[in-house]
């Protein structure tokens, strides 16, 4: 049964990222929460990464994104408190221990996804138990605390492509049998990206995309789709930047769903999303879009033009920031728009009507199928706008489909084609699969064939509709308009809301007994100088209070094995001063304005039983 926030009807998200894409998207979600001051607990509650890589890779990426709590560099040791808080919501697990295998898949399985699926299926009971345990131990959560499960994997590769559908299907069954978590009270969604056209293995990546959709389509309610190629072509950037931008876009579109936690009336629960994203017998395909702008821009437009122009501005920006190219000649099934507005701004019915009209025109969705939801939340002076287009004509999927149609339908030479495909897939593996996993090698072709057939069966009607007009007649959204740039620059957020401060920190170890009061401690520290000191640089956000800061520090040091509660002192220059109670209410910003200040955390050899004022 649902517990925690989930029991209260709030959306409570558990993100499961598979492979490299899953990891990067997960980190982007946390990064966005940090930079835009969204409370991770109210947005995506926990980010879990599953991969074949050993953890070193994960730690390195976490460090690069500034989510590593302790960094050692030439400047000394730096403690990042915000990262420490966030890293509680971020865990990593290996799908299989590569050391136990006779071959090396520490760098992934190439394009041969059946191997990844095989290991996931075999190791699932162990992975599930370990995951549950670590969740409780490291983050203090239970599986039943969640009601929105997000499975993210790229569709063209091997590791995520193989493991995500396999894991999701068993995980959902497990949730139903052991935790009694059923739809519609829980919502399962997938997130995926389509491969770059310039991928050197594009000839394998695209067929893999179809098998991925084939396997995933009956497992989750909906799949959010982004297209790397589309982003690269429209924004004219290199692969790495395109990936970053798409991740940002998808991360926001996931976070967007949680903005509805902040609505007084008409809150969207998991069941509402289940109902919205449902279709007959298969997952819906959703192309999300996201944009944001400054509130004063919107109010200026509202004052000058009434609702017409601001509505157009929102709709055009959303259309310009779609995660994949959609062909609007074909009507999409539904459209959900979520607008997060500051509390002070109350948009009336006129605006709503105008917005629906222009959205209907731009996205080709009939007005009655457009749902517009408003969430009032003060996130700086920003308006966030999210669009979720359900079952649109996705140009790229149509292209992938037509290039690989012969693999989908029954035909005399299909078997041979599939055999060729499988042998090419195996070539991308670091080891010879026949000699190690013979049971898989004898069956993989059936597995792949079944996945293609599944895709064809599920999406046949859908695709037949798309096939009516073979040539693209719509305006091509790939063509960059070199004169017009309504797209926000994703790499440079309009505002960075979180301002960090750097404070010097020292940890002091004293062998002597702990004195009775704070003044005596300060006197002791000022009189003796033969104690051990470790210096750190602390990064903490300006608006945190000293109390909050100390709590996080304590949790970091507890993990490092210092279990007794230390005492705190302020050090001005070389002089120690007692840190009295009222200091705990000050913010970091106020404290950091004091020159030559260091915070001392003092561990005594002999701790007194009763807790001193000022000890933490």
DSSP assigned state of 514: P
CB of 486 to other proteins, least distance (A): 6
Give whichever of 85 and 312 is closer to other proteins, judged by the CB atom: 312
Distance CA 282, CA 214 (A): 10
CB of 414 to other proteins, least distance (A): 11
CB of 248 to other proteins, least distance (A): 22
CB of 49 to other proteins, least distance (A): 28
Give whichever of 488 and 493 is closer to other proteins, judged by the CB atom: 488
CB of 300 to other proteins, least distance (A): 7
Alpha helices in 364-466 (DSSP H): 395-403, 405-408, 414-427, 433-436, 438-466
Give whichever of 176 and 485 is closer to other proteins, judged by the CB atom: 485
Give whichever of 308 and 614 is closer to other proteins, judged by the CB atom: 308
CB of 133 to other proteins, least distance (A): 41
Q: Please name every residue paired with 335 in a beta bridge, in sequence order, or none if there are none.
A: 370, 389
DSSP assigned state of 143: G
DSSP-based three-state secondary structure for 183: coil
Give whichever of 264 and 416 is closer to other proteins, judged by the CB atom: 416
CB of 476 to other proteins, least distance (A): 4
Give whichever of 236 and 613 is closer to other proteins, judged by the CB atom: 236
Give whichever of 119 and 426 is closer to other proteins, judged by the CB atom: 426
Indicate left, alpha or beta for 385 from its phi (over 0: left) and psi (-120 to 50: alpha). beta
Query: 447-469: buried (b, 16+ CB within 10 Å) or exposed (e) per residue?
Result: bbbebbbbbbebbeeebeebeee
Instruction: Please tell me whether the peptide bond between 417 and the residue prior to it is cis, using omega within 30 degrees of 0.
Output: no
Evaluated on CA atoms 73, 78, 79, 80, the torsion sign reads negative
CB of 138 to other proteins, least distance (A): 41
CB of 301 to other proteins, least distance (A): 7
- Closest by CA to 149, choosing from 123, 119, 178, 176, is 176
Helix (H) or strand (E) holding 145: none
Distance CA 440, CA 443 (A): 5
CB of 197 to other proteins, least distance (A): 6
- Closest by CA to 43, choosing from 87, 80, 89, is 89
Give whichever of 486 and 577 is closer to other proteins, judged by the CB atom: 486
Give whichever of 136 and 485 is closer to other proteins, judged by the CB atom: 485
Give whichever of 475 and 519 is closer to other proteins, judged by the CB atom: 475
Tell me which residues touch other proteins (CB under 8 A): 197-204, 206-207, 233, 297, 300-301, 305, 309, 312-313, 316, 402-407, 417, 420, 424, 427-428, 472, 475-476, 478-479, 481-486
Q: Is 198 exposed, middle or buried (0-12, 13-18, 19+ CB in 10 A)?
A: exposed
Helix, strand, coil content of the chain in percent (nearest 5): 45, 20, 35
- Closest by CA to 386, choosing from 334, 324, 340, 328, is 340
Rounded to a whole number of angstroms, the distance between the first and last alpha carbons of the chain is 37
Give whichever of 429 and 567 is closer to other proteins, judged by the CB atom: 429
- Closest by CA to 422, choosing from 452, 463, 464, is 452
Evaluated on CA atoms 548, 549, 554, 556, the torsion sign reads positive
Distance CA 295, CA 384 (A): 10
Distance CA 108, CA 22 (A): 13
CB of 295 to other proteins, least distance (A): 14
């Amino acid at each position: 049964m649902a517990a925690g926030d989930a029991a209260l009807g709030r959306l409570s998200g558990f993100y499961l990222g598979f492979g490299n894409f899953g990891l990067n998207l997960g980190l982007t979600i946390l990064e966005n929460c940090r930079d835009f001051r969204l409370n991770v607990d109210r947005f995506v509650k926990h980010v879990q990464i599953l991969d074949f890589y050993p953890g070193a890779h994960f730690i390195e990426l976490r460090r690069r994104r500034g989510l590593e709590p302790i960094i050692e560099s030439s400047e000394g040791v730096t403690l990042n408190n915000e990262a420490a808080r966030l890293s509680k919501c971020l865990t990593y697990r290996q799908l299989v221990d590569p050391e136990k295998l006779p071959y090396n898949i520490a760098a992934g399985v190439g394009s041969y996804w059946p191997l990844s699926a095989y290991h996931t299926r075999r190791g699932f009971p162990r992975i599930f138990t370990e995951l549950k345990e670590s969740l409780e131990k490291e983050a203090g959560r239970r599986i039943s605390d969640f009601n929105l499960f997000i499975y993210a994997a790229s569709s063209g590769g091997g590791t995520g492509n193989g493991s995500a559908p396999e894991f999701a299907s068993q995980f959902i069954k497990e949730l139903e049998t052991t935790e009694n978590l059923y739809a519609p009270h829980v919502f399962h969604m997938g997130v995926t990206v389509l491969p770059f056209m310039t991928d050197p293995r594009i000839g394998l990546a695209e067929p893999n995309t179809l098998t991925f959709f084939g396997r995933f389509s009956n497992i989750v309610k909906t799949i959010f789709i982004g297209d790397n190629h589309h982003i690269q072509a429209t924004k004219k950037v290199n692969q790495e930047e395109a990936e970053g931008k798409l991740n940002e876009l998808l991360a926001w579109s996931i976070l967007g769903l949680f903005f509805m936690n902040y609505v007084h009336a008409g809150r969207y629960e998991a069941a509402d999303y289940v109902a919205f994203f449902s279709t007959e017998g298969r997952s819906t395909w959703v192309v999300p879009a996201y944009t944001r702008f400054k509130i004063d821009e919107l109010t200026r437009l509202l004052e000058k033009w009434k609702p017409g122009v601001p509505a157009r501005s929102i709709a055009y920006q959303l259309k310009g920031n779609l995660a994949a190219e959609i062909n609007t000649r074909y009507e999409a099934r539904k459209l959900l728009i979520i607008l997060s507005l500051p509390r002070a701004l109350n948009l009336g019915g006129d605006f709503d009507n105008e917005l629906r009209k222009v959205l209907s025109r731009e996205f080709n969705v009939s007005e009655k199928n457009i749902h517009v939801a408003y969430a009032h939340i003060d996130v700086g002076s920003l308006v966030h706008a999210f669009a979720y287009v359900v079952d649109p004509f996705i140009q790229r999927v149509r292209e992938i489909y037509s290039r690989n149609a012969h693999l989908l339908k029954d035909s005399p030479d299909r078997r041979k084609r599939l055999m060729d495909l499988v042998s090419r897939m195996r070539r991308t593996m670091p080891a010879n699969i026949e000699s190690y996993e013979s049971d898989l090698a004898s069956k993989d072709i059936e597995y792949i064939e079944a996945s293609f057939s599944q895709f064809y069966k599920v999406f046949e009607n859908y695709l037949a509709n798309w096939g009516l007009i073979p040539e693209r007649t719509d305006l091509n959204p790939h063509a960059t308009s070199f004169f017009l740039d309504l797209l926000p620059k994703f790499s440079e957020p309009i505002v960075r809301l979180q301002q960090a401060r750097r404070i010097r920190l020292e940890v002091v170890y004293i062998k002597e007994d702990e004195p009775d009061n704070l003044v005596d401690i300060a006197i002791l520290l000022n009189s003796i100088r033969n104690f051990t000191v470790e210096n750190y640089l602390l990064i903490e956000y300006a608006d945190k209070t000293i109390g909050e800061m100390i709590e996080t520090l304590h949790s970091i040091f507890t993990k490092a094995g210092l279990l007794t509660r230390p005492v705190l002192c302020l050090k001005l220059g070389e002089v120690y001063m007692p840190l009295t109670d009222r200091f705990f209410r000050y913010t970091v910003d106020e404290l950091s304005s004091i020159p030559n200040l260091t915070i001392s955390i003092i561990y005594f050899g002999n701790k007194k039983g009763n807790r001193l004022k000022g000890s933490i």
